[in-house]
Amino acid sequence: MDHLSKYKKLKEKFNSLLIDKKIDSELITEFEALIQESEKRINETQLNIKSNEDLQKFEMLVKNIADTIVILDENSLQQYISPSVEKITGFKSEELVGRPLNELIHPDDFMSLVEKIIFLHQNPDSIVTSIYRHVHKTKEWVYLEANGQNFLKNPALKCLVIIVRDITQRVKMENELIKLNADKDRFLQIVAHDLRSPFNTLLGYSEILLNKVDILEKTKIKEIAKNINEASNSGYKLLQNLLLWSKSQSGKLPFLPSKLNFESATLEVISLMESQATSKNISIKFLEVKNVFLKADKEMFSIIMRNLISNAIKFTHKKGTIIISTEITEKEAIISISDNGLGISKEKQEKLWNCSNPVSTPGTDNEKGSGIGLLLCKDFVEKHGGKIWAESKLKEGSRFIFTMPLS
């Protein structure tokens, strides 16, 4: 007889005795025992309900947590993998359970991971961390960080529990930072090397003047003064470009685009460059366009034009020609500075915009440079949403082209 039937029969008997007023102590004891058993069963039912609720909450947590829970048996075989593994590796958990680790872990990381698992087996109280590459379903590699703990001696668990986290983006950012730091170090080495040249010139010629000024001829003194002036200008220009580039990289250089008359801004730059061009008897031809207005930062535009024209002068032979031309489209101006100078090899063209290895080549009059000016031009053009590139052939000249938005 089940518990409910027993309860109904006893209740009927109890009610009939109530009517007849014949309730004995044995019946009361039996009824009390039944009530206690009922209370016990109610409590057990409530506990079962609570356990089921807790289990549902745990399953929901495991399913939605970003990290993956992996359970290994005493033989280090994967017995359980939480569903979140699919977000990390592209594999469903049932596709991975029971598969050997050497099929999933990058060959270069496999032995290191095995050593960590062995250590975890041997040191139950420790928490072991490992970073390794795991194959993705797309055949690419994802970087994972695993923190494992040994529960083999726990009779309720008897397993290794591993919490796995996807750190692919973090590793990519760290690698990019390492590359940027390496590029920065290389860049500073090049700048330091290029700064030595004008200073060596200044020190050398100033020492000659200091020791021999009384016996030098006037023409020789004038020649030395000219070399000192050129070295000073070269060093100053390098430092000025370096300072501007540094400010731009750190976001400390104001960017104030406004409506800018292209013709008048270009003519202003040309007037500043005339003395440098005249010293090599180079002519600058500006194919003027009327009523063209750019949306540009005037100072940045001026620096771009000065650097590109200065480079053209540097690499053009005496009595050469530099041409500034413009093509206007619906949304932008395509500006080019062409020369008939030395030209640039294909190999060097690929390195023109590389900050870790800027190209530095002596000019036709052995003028020195650092390549920082072109990096500055690229940075400023891109701030305007434009592009800059070069077209060149050795011994035929170069053409530097950049775009600027129209106002």
Residue 402 β-bridge partners? 335, 388
Which of these ranges, 102-111, 182-191, 274-283, 324-333, has the smallest mean pLDDT? 182-191
Rounded CA-CA distance 45/64 in Å is 29
Going by C-alpha positions, the residue among 213, 263, 202, 259 that lies closest to residue 236 is 202
Prediction pTM value: 0.56
Judged against a pLDDT cut of 70, whether residue 354 lies above it is answered with yes
Place of tokens 């949306």: 295
DSSP 317: P
Which of these ranges, 23-37, 205-219, 238-252, 363-377, has the smallest mean pLDDT? 23-37
User: Domain 65-166 has what CATH class?
Assistant: alpha beta
C-alpha pair distances (Å), 367 with each of 234, 273, 304, 319, 364? 8, 15, 19, 16, 7
CB distance 375 to 316 below 8 Å: no
Specify the pLDDT at position 236: 82
Q: What is the mean pLDDT of the chain?
A: 82
| Interval 306-319: pLDDT, tens | 989 988 998 899 99
SS3 content of the chain, % helix, strand, coil (to 5): 50, 20, 30
Specify the pLDDT at position 353: 81
| Interval 145-187: pLDDT, tens | 999 999 888 887 888 888 899 999 999 999 888 877 776 776 6
User: Domain 174-405 has what CATH class?
Assistant: alpha beta
In the three-class reduction of DSSP (H, G, I as helix; E, B as strand; rest coil), residue 87 is classed as: helix
| Interval 38-84: pLDDT, tens | 556 655 555 554 555 655 665 666 666 778 888 888 887 888 888 88
The long-range contacts involving 226-233, CB below 8 angstroms and separated by at least 24 positions, are 227/201, 228/201, 228/202, 230/201, 231/197, 231/198, 231/199, 231/201, 231/202, 231/205, 232/198, 232/202
Rounded CA-CA distance 148/146 in Å is 6
